[in-house]
Structure formats: C-alpha cells, structure tokens
Amino acid sequence: MRFYKNQHEYYCGIDLHANKMYVCVVDSFGEVVCHKNIDTEEDELLKLLEPYRGKVVVGVECMFCWYWLADLCREKEIPFVLGHALYMKALHGGKVQNDRIDSERIAMLLKSGMFPEAYVYPREMRATRDLMRRRCFFVQKRAELLSHIQMTHQQYNVAKSHSRDLKHACNRVGLSAAFEDKSVQVVLDSESRMIAHYNVEVLALERHIKEATRKVAKNNLDLALLKTIPGIGDILGLTILYEIHDIKRFDTVQRFASYSRLVKPERTSMGKSKGGGGGKIGNQHLKWAFSEATVLALRNSPRAHDYLKRAERKHSKSKALSILAHKLGRTVYFMLLKQRAFDEQKFLTA
C-alpha cells in the first residue's frame, strides 16, 4: 500500500457526496483554518480554496462521484490525491461519525503521511475503460439468461439444451414449444428476446471500442503483443490494457499480481496465521480478464492443458487454475514491460 507523504503548507480533506461536500482545510501544524459544508459546484470549491492556491493538496475518499473533482484539480493545477476506500479505516472507526468529522480526518491523514493512495485514472482513457466495463456487464447478464434457459430445461427434464449452443439465434428457435405450461413458455420467449437484444447492443459496443482504441499507436503495439497469447483477442486484450493503463506504475511484478487479485492475501501475527482477508482489494475486472484468458489459453493450447493436468496432481482443479492465472498475469507484466511477444516454451517451464 502506498501512502501520500509529500509535504504542503495546507491540506484539504473533502467528504464528497453527490449534492454536498464537507471541506476541511488544516495547516502544517494541524490547526483547522476552514471547515464548511458547500454544494458540489466547481465555482464554490474554487472560491473556498482560492486563499490557499499553490500551497494546498486536496484529498478525497474514492467513491462513485470523484471524476469531476479530479479533473477540476488537474485543470487548475491543484495537487489531488484519491484515497483507497478499503484502506481508510480511520474514517470508519470512532464513536461518532459524520461528514464534518470525516472531512477533518481526511485532512489529518494527508498531513500525517498516512493517507492511502488509490490510482487516479487519466481522463483521456477513463470513458473508454468504463464503456468496456459496461460491455462486460451486458455479457454477464446475457450469460445469466442463457444459463437460466438451460436450467429450466433441466428442471423439467425436457430436451437437453446444454448440447446446443444457445448463443446462436437459430438454436433458440422453438425452445418454448417443448413445454405445455404457458407461463414457462412466456418466460423462455421473453429471455430469448432479451438475449437477442443483448447481442445487438454488445456488438455495437464492440465496434465502437475497436474504433475508439485503434487510433492510439501504443494500444496497437501492446494489443499485438497480448494477442500472441493463445485465446486473447481484441476485446479481452483491450480490457487488460485499459485496466492496467501504464504497466510502469507497478514497481514490481508482485505489486501487479496483488493489484490483479492473482495472489491470496495472508495475515499473520507472531508467526501464526490469522486467516484470510482483503480479498476485495484490487481490480476485479483484471481478475476476471486473467481468469477468462486462462480458460481460453487452455482451449487453444494443448501444452497449457497438459501443464494444468500436471498441476492438478499436486493441487485441486481450482487451485491449479489459480496457479496458471497467476503465471499468465506475471507473463503479461513482463511482456508489456519489456515489449516482447509471448513465448509458450518459457511460459510453461518458468
């Protein structure tokens, strides 16, 4: 975990909400010089910070509406720090908690050098990254509908649907006719229409993503490197690239693996294990991407499949898949860092 340790004359902590924000400014001695609840308006915030411009740093806890504040600070050349919500335990403890107290705690954490930093994703790529996340959400919803159709057939022991690839429209024709109950027919017909709609929307999003990303030369080079891995195509490769943004922001491969949720957190005290925890800290989208890439690599590489079988002799199947996903994540880190193509021989023997 990284902490913001830069020194300033003033430290501004903001407890941010959709309509209101509590602003607290403290000086280098810890004395509160400004404490006010204002509307989430750019002009009001700039007016409040005007006496401290050039000498103040702004800190806010990471939550859903921080985008505009980060962009405003960048535009006005005000240092901005985003706090990692899961690490900011000091905000969530204590007997009394309210917006006024939280804003002061944020300012004091900044001053003390104990403010846990989260990555401020750049504005230029943020919208495309969020679009790809939304596409993934639509794909997952489509998969839920497909799974429910299969489950319905299994519940009634009717014509095994799992032998047909239901993502193709031709295989969904007449599915409801196998059932006598009208309610079941209505459910299946409705789900089939929703799947068809999701197919149209996902295809449109993918076309836009490819068009928006191919104009960036670095995207094309890094994507070409990732596509040398068996099973990784345009969309999955772009998802990995946009979630990473810049591989050089990770000092070590261990930090990258931790950020990607590819390693299991460990807690110990006096040499004794205190159980797991912290599993939600990291990037869930990268975790999904590497899990998906691992399955596709197994489907497209017989040698990777053989490696998995050997790992299953020592571990369970789920553990073996996790090991392979970890290896793939480490490989992607060094591929992007050193600008080298995928080497299957080295990957399976490392």
Dihedral of the CA atoms 173, 176, 179, 183 (nearest 10)? -170
- Asked whether 308 and 321 are in contact (CB, 8 A), the reply is yes
198 SS3 class: helix
- How many beta carbons lie within 10 A of that of residue 260, not counting itself? 28
105 forms beta bridges with none
136-194 residue pLDDT tens: 999 999 999 999 998 998 888 886 544 567 777 887 888 888 888 999 999 999 999 99
- Asked whether 335 and 226 are in contact (CB, 8 A), the reply is yes
- Residue 302 carries which side chain, given as an amino acid letter? P
CA 115 to chain centre: 21
Rg (CA), the chain: 25
Please give the Cα distance from 221 to 199 (Å, whole number): 29
pLDDT, residue 164, reads 65
In order of 135, 151, 162, 193, the CA distances from 190 in angstroms are 21, 15, 19, 5
59 SS3 class: strand
Long-range Cβ contacts of 298-302 (<8 Å, 24+ apart): 298/231, 298/324, 299/231, 300/230, 300/231, 301/230, 301/231, 301/344
pLDDT, residue 220, reads 87
Q: Which residues of the chain have pLDDT under 70?
A: 90-93, 159-164, 274-278, 350
pLDDT, residue 95, reads 74
Q: How many helices (H) and strands (E) does the chain have?
A: 13, 9
pLDDT, residue 64, reads 85
58 SS3 class: strand
Please give the Cα distance from 55 to 9 (Å, whole number): 5
- The domain segmentation of the chain, as residue ranges, is 3-118, 125-213, 218-349
pLDDT, residue 264, reads 81
Fold of the 3-118 domain: Nucleotidyltransferase; domain 5 (3.30.420)
b/e 173-211 (16+ beta carbons within 10 angstroms → b)? eebbeebeeeebeebbeebbeebeebeeebeebbeebee
235-273 residue pLDDT tens: 999 999 999 999 999 999 999 999 999 988 777 777 777
- How many beta carbons lie within 10 A of that of residue 126, not counting itself? 16
Please give the Cα distance from 78 to 218 (Å, whole number): 29
What is the distance between the terminal CA atoms of the chain, rounded to a whole angstrom? Answer: 28
Long-range Cβ contacts of 151-155 (<8 Å, 24+ apart): 152/184, 152/187, 152/188, 153/178
| Axis-axis angle for helices 234-244, 182-213 (nearest 10) | 70
